[in-house]
């Protein structure tokens, strides 16, 4: 049995909350200059950058477009998709200008800087191949655009003004999806004493964690001699509940054990976080202090019980997420991440896989706070390439340090319950791949013996023969549902994880006739049907995975591809133009749920009812024609009505995978009016109902904000869903009106997105067309408090506005 128990550190805070300040963390957010292209001598401190663009970091230079068919055009056979003949791919990386060189420059001062202080320059992600210069001298370089890394710049720093320059370079054929470009995650300066806790130097586990007691083990790596450590633990109300002082260390590491009575255990349902304060003393002088949030919980994996959290068996209800945030690109934004995760919470989702990259610190903080289990992934490539200029170029030199940094930076998040060493790596074939898998897994175990390691395997037959799948802690299967049983019987672990499932494709609000199962189906409008019956050559429909989850105790859960649409990989239209983003998401690129969202919600959200009806009921020209109606619901049966005429009662039944999980009326004849479904309880009594009405002509706009009060920090966002209604207030599901946006007051227009994978409209321009009657506008707060107004207008429509407040 593989058992791992963790007591989790969240992240070091910038300033002390409980005592005097001994270290500072300064986020280098403002004051950056940016230039796209080569810039001779740009690293020099006296370089003239007055004509460069002023930007804030995090920043993605490529998201501002334009979309261009020629950008990173590839003639390639995607082997992991089963392709054998190369074809021209035009939207594979989003058709955005991420390739080339970019320079960033900023100046900063460290007030009262003292000689002898230790100063760390931390990068949470830089796309890619960063070369870092301070005051004209090279500090260092890195390779992997998704990696966290840092440099000690103590010897190169000086009093007064310092000039920091960063050169980044993205090559063609370096990614399979839109990777973004630039300093897309935070850059920070950490100033502390030489005698201090090391960067990512705290690791906390619980050998015992149950409702009665937790035994907390805290290992703290430090620099200095003759020091002592005091650790205090506080509950969520800031009440101190434990304290321990240690003066004895071994190899510059303190090893402490603290007992906590009747702990509140962390879980997705109860994401309780404590606070720990670690204080490092020399005599009576406080040298360093790190404040952290953490959760207490236990995890285990076994053939007998599958995956257990806090001693209870459960299955992962997970989604895979790429790192882009739709119209924001890859520039990390916590409010955008929080919105994503709120939508996933409503879905009933309890787990996230970072695909196929190292997650942002912000995403992990939110997973801890909001309650998500997390599968943290590292690589999409090892030594053997998928793309010419991918990570294969750096594997030998960087792989170990990239894993070390991933684990040390994030290993104390209670949300993380598993590591992934790779995704569909070509190294699955042959003995060399087995050796690499074992080598990587041992690095993960060395750095964190508390969690298991998986790899998302698509070449399942090969991994059975080579032993690749047998050596992993967790055998993860990407699709290949027909091989689950054979893999279960041949692999020794006694369980299987659906590390990537479904890859069903659909376009929000688009329905194709006849409604039938189809693989790699293409249409002239480059959309996929939202009847949720279309999938890819290597994948399947959701119900194939549902059956495995429900009927096989040895399947420990799934991570659906994907939770949200993302930029790039527009399968099945990756040879078509224009098509520049995915169709895989349960939620579209704008963050608007598709029909498929409610199919999963009907199974996953066990706290609230689901009753969702499709398609829309605006079908001029289909009068008298069969127009199938599907209902996704948490109820077992329902009766359907068209203009008051019953279409009969349907019950979920096991005759086909679809009828087991969907209610389907395939012979409904379209006539304009009202489509109504009434859900029935076990006794056949009505318990809930939903209606869809045929809408008239577009008349007015409707605005719904996810939040109306923002922080006045220059970063916070409100996402306003804009839809069109007729004179009676009915949504117009086929409206494509061009809209214009204007923001006034203490905020600014940030972007818009309509979820249309074929749209070439630029996200940051204040105009966009509706797609299937909707789009989303992003409004960003300023750094000063005040009122914000968004006005939306469109020809022939009654304009609408909404007021927000920045505080």
- Determine the Cα–Cα distance for residues 84 and 742; give it in Å rounded to an integer: 49
SS3 assignment, position 708:
coil
Catalytic residue check, 400: no
Give the position of tokens 């506005």.
801
Name the β-bridge partners of 775.
722
Tokens of 145: 């655009």
DSSP-H helix ranges across 672-720: none
Tally Cβ neighbours within 10 Å of residue 348: 18
Give which of 355, 356, 346, 352 is closest to 365, Cα–Cα.
352
Tokens of 211: 């409702």
Q: Got the DSSP string for 170-215? A: E-TT--SS----BS-S-EEEEEE-SSEEEEEEEEEEEEEESSSEEE
Q: What are phi and psi of 395, to 5 degrees?
A: -55, -50
Give which of 490, 434, 426 is closest to 458, Cα–Cα.
426
Give which of 362, 457, 453 is closest to 410, Cα–Cα.
362
Residues 805/710, Cβ–Cβ less than 8 Å: yes
Tally Cβ neighbours within 10 Å of residue 455: 32
**β-strands 686-693, 645-651: how paired?**
unpaired
Q: Please measure the distance between the N-terminal and C-terminal CA atoms of the chain and give it in whole angstroms.
A: 52
The strands making up 611-614's β-sheet, listed across from edge to edge, are 611-614, 629-633, 663-665
- Could you tell me the sign of the dihedral formed by the alpha carbons of 134, 140, 144, 146, in that order? negative
- Determine the Cα–Cα distance for residues 712 and 69; give it in Å rounded to an integer: 39
Task: Check 171, 377, 381, 424 and give the catalytic one.
Answer: 424
Furthest-apart CA pair in the chain: how many Å?
88
Tokens of 744: 């006034």
> Rg for the chain (alpha carbons), in Å?
27
Catalytic residue check, 500: yes
Give which of 95, 567, 123 is closest to 329, Cα–Cα.
567
- Determine the Cα–Cα distance for residues 604 and 522; give it in Å rounded to an integer: 30
Q: Is residue 80 packed enough to be buried (19+ CB in 10 Å), middle (13-18) or exposed (0-12)?
A: middle
| Active site (catalytic) residues | 424, 500
């Amino acid at each position: 049995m593989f058992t791992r128990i963790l007591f989790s550190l969240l992240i070091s805070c910038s300033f002390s909350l409980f005592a005097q300040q001994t270290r500072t963390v300064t986020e280098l957010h403002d004051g950056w200059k940016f230039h796209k292209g080569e810039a001779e001598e740009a690293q020099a401190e006296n370089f003239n950058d007055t004509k460069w663009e002023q930007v804030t970091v995090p920043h993605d230079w490529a998201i501002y477009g334009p979309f261009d068919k020629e950008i990173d055009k590839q003639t390639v056979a995607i082997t992991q998709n089963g392709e054998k003949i190369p074809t021209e791919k035009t939207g594979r990386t989003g058709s955005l200008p991420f390739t080339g060189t970019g320079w960033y420059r900023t100046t900063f001062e460290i007030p009262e800087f003292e000689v002898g202080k230790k100063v760390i320059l931390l990068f949470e992600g830089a796309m890619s191949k960063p070369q870092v210069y301070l005051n004209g001298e090279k500090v260092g370089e890195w390779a992997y655009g998704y990696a966290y890394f840092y440099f000690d710049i103590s010897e190169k720093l000086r009093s007064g003004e310092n000039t920091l320059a960063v050169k980044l370079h993205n090559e063609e054929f370096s990614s399979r999806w839109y990777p973004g470009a630039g300093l897309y995650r935070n850059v920070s300066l950490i100033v502390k004493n030489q005698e201090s806790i090391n960067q990512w130097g705290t690791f906390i586990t619980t050998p015992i964690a149950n409702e009665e007691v937790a035994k907390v083990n805290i290992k703290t790596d430090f620099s200095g001699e003759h020091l002592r450590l005091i650790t205090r633990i506080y509950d969520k109300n800031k009440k101190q509940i434990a304290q321990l002082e240690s003066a004895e260390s071994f190899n510059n590491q303190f090893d402490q054990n603290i007992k906590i009575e009747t702990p509140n255990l962390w879980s997705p349902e109860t994401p309780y976080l404590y606070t720990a304060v670690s204080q490092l003393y020399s005599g009576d002088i406080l040298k360093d202090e790190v404040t952290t949030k953490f959760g207490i919980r236990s995890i285990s994996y076994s053939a007998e019980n599958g995956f257990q959290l806090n001693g209870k068996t459960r299955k992962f209800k997970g989604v895979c997420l790429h790192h882009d945030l739709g119209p924001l690109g890859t520039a990390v934004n916590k409010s955008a991440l929080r919105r994503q995760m709120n939508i996933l919470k409503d879905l009933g989702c309890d787990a996230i896989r970072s695909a196929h990259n190292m997650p942002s610190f912000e995403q992990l903080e939110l997973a801890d706070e909001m309650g998500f289990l997390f599968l943290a992934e590292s690589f999409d490539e090892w030594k053997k390439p998928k793309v010419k200029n991918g990570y294969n170029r750096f594997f030998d030199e960087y792989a170990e340090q990239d894993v070390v940094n991933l684990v040390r930076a994030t290993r104390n998040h209670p949300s993380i319950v598993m590591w992934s060493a790779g995704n569909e790596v070509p190294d699955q074939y042959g003995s060399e791949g087995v050796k690499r898998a074992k080598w990587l897994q041992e690095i993960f175990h060395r750095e964190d013996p508390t969690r298991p390691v998986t790899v998302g395997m698509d070449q399942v037959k090969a991994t059975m023969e080579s032993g690749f799948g047998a050596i992993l802690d967790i055998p993860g299967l990407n699709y290949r549902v027909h091989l689950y049983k054979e893999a279960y019987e041949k692999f020794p672990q006694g369980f299987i994880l659906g590390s990537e499932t479904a890859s069903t494709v659909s376009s929000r609000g688009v329905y194709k006739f006849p409604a039938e199962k189809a693989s790699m189906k293409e249409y002239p409008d480059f959309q996929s049907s939202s009847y949720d019956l279309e999938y890819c050559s290597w994948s399947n429909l959701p119900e194939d995975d549902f059956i495995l989850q429900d009927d096989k105790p040895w399947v420990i859960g799934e991570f659906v591809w994907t939770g949200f649409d993302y930029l790039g990989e527009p399968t099945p239209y990756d040879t078509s133009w224009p098509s520049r983003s995915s169709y895989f998401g349960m939620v579209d690129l704008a963050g608007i749920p598709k029909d498929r969202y409610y199919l999963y919600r009907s199974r996953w959200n066990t706290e609230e009812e689901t009753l969702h009806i499709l398609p829309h009921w605006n079908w001029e020209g289909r009068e008298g024609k069969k127009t199938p109606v599907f209902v996704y619901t948490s109820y077992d049966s329902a009766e359907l009505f068209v203009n008051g005429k019953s279409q009969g009662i349907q019950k979920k039944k096991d005759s086909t995978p679809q009828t087991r999980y969907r209610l389907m009326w395939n012979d409904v004849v379209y006539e304009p009016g009202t489509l109504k479904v009434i859900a029935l309880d076990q006794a056949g009594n009505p318990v809930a109902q939903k209606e869809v009405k045929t809408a008239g002509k577009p008349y007015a706009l409707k605005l719904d904000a996810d939040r109306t009060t923002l922080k006045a920090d220059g970063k916070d966002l409100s996402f306003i869903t804009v839809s069109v209604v007729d004179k009676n207030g009915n949504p117009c599901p086929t409206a494509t009106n061009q809209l214009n946006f204007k923001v006034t007051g203490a905020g600014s227009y940030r972007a818009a997105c309509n979820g249309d994978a074929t749209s070439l409209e630029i996200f940051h321009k204040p105009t966009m067309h509706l797609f299937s009657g909707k789009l989303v506008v992003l409004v960003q707060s300023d750094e000063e408090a005040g009122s914000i107004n968004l006005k939306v207008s469109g020809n022939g429509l009654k304009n609408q506005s909404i007021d927000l407040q920045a505080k």
